[in-house]
Structure 1
Amino acid sequence: MKFRLLLPILLLTACSSASAASHSSSNSSSASEAPKALSANQVAAPSRVDYPGFVDLSQEAGEYRKQRLVAIETFMKMAEDPQTMILDARSESAYRRKHIKGAININFSDFSVEGLKQAIPDKNKRILIYCNNNIEGDTANFPTKSVSLALNIPTFINLYGYGYKNVYELSSLLQADDARLKFEGTDVK
């Protein structure tokens, strides 16, 4: 009977020790180093995912974002500045079909330290962002997402988190045929 009670404690202790050893050895290795394959009896190191950190970053970026929302008139005026970039973070295929004229495409899934550094070397560059949820009446090219999951939100948070603070987000909802919008792409007639 005592053995049955001790076994879970021994297993827990063994797992905790292995996890601590694995954790301390993983802390000494480079953050960019690829994780090593595990043998069958090793305990996996924790993933490189920090949900509480993401929540904190989201709250911080959310407060900052409130002052960075701009209406279409301001957005288009800012876009005239040659030192300003319009960023379309949708998929490459959606971008190719139709995007705001002059926008560059960096697929949100490709955001990384190196990828952003290569595409936007100057972290002080003014970046304008928009997404599907800013454009109505062309669901083939701009399908509406759930409001709380609109691509502008994670795009802004990620740019902010990677150190790009000079970001402005289009706050207007516009009809696809709005004369203030100029589009380019394979689906533009």
Structure 2
Amino acid sequence: MTKIIKIGILILLIPISIMAQKKEQLPESKVDYDSFLTISEEVQKYRTSRMVTIDEFLEYLKDEHTLLLDTRSEKAYTQKHIKAAVHLNFSDFTEEKLKKIIPSKNTRILIYCNNNIDGDTLHFASKMMPLALNIPTFINLYGYGYKNIYELGALVPSTDNRLIFSGTEVK
């Protein structure tokens, strides 16, 4: 009788053992939150010296070697964006796609988001301040090796004549 019990227990343990082995063979996730936090801490220190006023932002835009990057949704970009902006939706960031629009890691990159434009809630709807698109955009560009990033650090009225907009909703 004890032999039968032992065999029964073995039969029950075999599937558990096989499942445990299969579980160990699964690949690890490609998500590394700890490294994200490390990069974010690096960026936090670095970013403070990369915030620019609207005057500096506009002056940098005059340089033909400067790229203005708009990472909002394609719909938002198509409807209205700062003229000369190049679009790459933030959710589409990959090394290959970034390389296509920013071939040199030394290129000066200007970024802005909805939270920089005031008074046009239809085309530049503000996000919660800690969730503004500039923050993950900066972190990701930095993480991909682009360090020559400057962020518009000002809230600019949408009626400011120094800003020239383009898009299907611009008259």
1:51 maps to amino acid: Y
**What pairs with 1:45-124 in structure 2 (closer than 5 Å)?**
45-124=27-106
Aligned residue in 2 for 1:179: 161
Gaps in structure 2 of 5+ consecutive residues: 1-8
Cα distance in 1, alignment partners of residues 125 and 19 from structure 2: 51
Q: How many pairs does the alignment contain?
A: 161
Flag the 1:168–1:14 CA change in 2: closer, same or farther, 3 A.
same
RMSD: 2.0
Distance 1:48 1:125 in 2: 28
Are 1:160 and 2:122 matched, yes or no? Answer: no
Task: State how 1:22-61 maps to structure 2 within 5 Å.
Answer: 22=25, 44-61=26-43
Report what 1:145 is aligned to.
127
- 3-state DSSP of counterpart to 2:29: coil
Deviation at 1:50, TM superposition (A): 0.4
User: Which letter does structure 1 place at the counterpart of 2:144?
Assistant: Y
Q: Where is the helix percentage greater, Structure 1 or Structure 2?
A: 2
Aligned-partner Cα distance in 2 for 1:167–1:94:
22
Q: After the TM superposition, which segments of 4 or more aligned residues of structure 1 sit over 6 Å from their partners?
A: none
SS of the aligned residue for 1:127 comes to: strand
Q: CA deviation at 1:179?
A: 1.4
Q: Output the amino acid matched with 1:133.
A: N
TM-score in terms of structure 1 length: 0.79
1:30 equivalent in structure 2: none
Q: Provide the TM-score with structure 2 as the length reference.
A: 0.87
Q: Percent of pairs identical after alignment?
A: 53
Q: Which whole-Å deviations, capped at 9, do the CAs of 1:34-63 have from their partners, x for residues lacking one?
A: xxxxxxxxxx32210001111111111111
| Deviation, structure 1 residue 132 | 0.0
**Partner SS, residue 35 of structure 2:** helix
